[in-house]
Amino acid sequence: MTTTNTIPQFKSLVASESFVYLVPVEGKPVTFSGNELLTMQEVLTMIDNINKNGSTPLICSNEGLNLLYREWLSKNQTALDISGLEDHIKTDIENESDGLSRLIQRLAKTNNSPELNQSIVDFVSKTDMPVTVDGNILGYRRVVTTPSGIRDGHSRSVPNELHTSVSMCRELVDGNGKVSCSRGLHVGTAQYVGSYYGDILHLVMVHPEDIVSVPYTDRSKLRTSKYTILYQYTDAQLSGFIQSGSTYVAKTNEYFIGGKIPKLLGTVVISKKGIQIDDKAVPQKEASTHTSIKRTVVSKKSKTEPLNIKAIQASAGFSKLLALFEKENKYSEKKSRFVDLLLFKKKRKQSWEKLGANPNQIKELKGWEIDGK
């Protein structure tokens, strides 16, 4: 784009208090950084222009941004193409979320190739993968129950217990996007996971810094060096997920999209030497959505020990009881199932939340507690 008297028109944008990304109708995208660059009203006005006319001029009262804008006109800066994220952008603005802008900011700070970062953006734009308020990506995995515990469905040797992180040395993950099936930790969309084998469905979180490749020929999955298991869906949710896709579990996912990340119970690290497991409590900062990939997942002082099976069994036992409770329609049967849940809760001396119930389930269970009194 050259400097002329013509006012440039933009076909999409992402904006937060400290970040503005604009995609022009002609030319290459541009990124601006600073403090309080646009007001909410200015953003909404431009979005309205795009909806009505297909494009909008830059509407901005901030002199600092206007100066950066004029400099860009003469330099024609480059950036990621996020034109496919328009629907996601509108949702972010309506929910007053900075998730997408934080995702793009974090990608810009990595040592990734431009091709990899663009493939990650394209992946999000073309799939049902939600982005959290912190810029992390949520996805799904199907795993299997074995005599030794919950394991991956491929090798059946990698533990995949609830509230643990699983990581692999980055050099062991295939970074070639031209290869569809290859080495790495796979996280997929509802389409990918729906056709995969496994009696358990997990919601997992992936940091954009940990993504190694997105297969060109199969945009329904990505390969990563690390994921964190946030939630284990009930049997009823798994059945609904297979039939209806991610919309069936959308309400449950909202809790985690909002940044509510549970504390980790342990870590699993895959290296050339094998699988190392640490079931000691992970510091809260390690469970934060802001975890840096530079942190060591397993401390050098930690010992290789088996997972805390009792804690895992408790969580799994609660999930099964909760699934039976949710399946019942008759009042008498549902009340009987609730009594089982209540006895389990009293025995474990834990809250509904700590046992693994989501906010909607907690509300219903507390209602039954009041009804019982």
* Tens of pLDDT, residues 47-95: 999 999 899 989 988 888 888 877 776 554 445 677 677 777 777 767 7
Look up tokens 């040592």; give the residue.
111
The pLDDT score that the predictor gives to residue 219 is 76
CA dist., res. 154 & res. 151, Å (int): 9
- Specify the higher pLDDT residue, 125 or 289: 125
Q: Find the mean pLDDT for residues 5-34.
A: 81
Beta-sheet pairing, 10-16 with 19-24: antiparallel
CA dist., res. 170 & res. 102, Å (int): 23
The pLDDT score that the predictor gives to residue 214 is 94
Tallying the residues shown for the chain, one arrives at 373
- Specify the higher pLDDT residue, 263 or 6: 263
At 367, the pLDDT band (50, 70, 90 cuts) reads confident
φ/ψ (deg, to 5) at 169: -55, 130
CA dist., res. 137 & res. 230, Å (int): 12
Helix axes 99-108, 114-126, angle to 10 degrees: 160
| Beta-bridge mates of residue 14 | 21
pLDDT tens per residue across span 182-201? 899 999 999 888 878 889 99
Amino acid at 90: K
Residue 269, pLDDT > 50, answer yes
Query: What's the whole-number average pLDDT of the chain?
Result: 80
The pLDDT score that the predictor gives to residue 279 is 60
SS3 of residue 238 by DSSP: helix
Least confident range of 172-176, 220-224, 339-343: 339-343
- CB 132, CB 204: distance < 8 Å: no
Residue 34, pLDDT > 60, answer yes
Residue 131, pLDDT > 50, answer yes
- Specify the higher pLDDT residue, 361 or 143: 143
Q: Which two tokens stand for residue 231?
A: 């939630």
Q: Find the mean pLDDT for residues 210-235.
A: 92
Amino acid at 233: Y
CA dist., res. 286 & res. 292, Å (int): 8
CA dist., res. 251 & res. 228, Å (int): 20
The pLDDT score that the predictor gives to residue 272 is 87
At 18, the pLDDT band (50, 70, 90 cuts) reads confident
Q: Which two tokens stand for residue 269?
A: 């690290």
Q: Which two tokens stand for residue 214?
A: 């997105």
Dump strand ranges (E) for the chain: 10-16, 19-24, 30-33, 137-146, 149-152, 164-168, 185-188, 200-206, 211-213, 221-224, 226-232, 266-271, 274-278
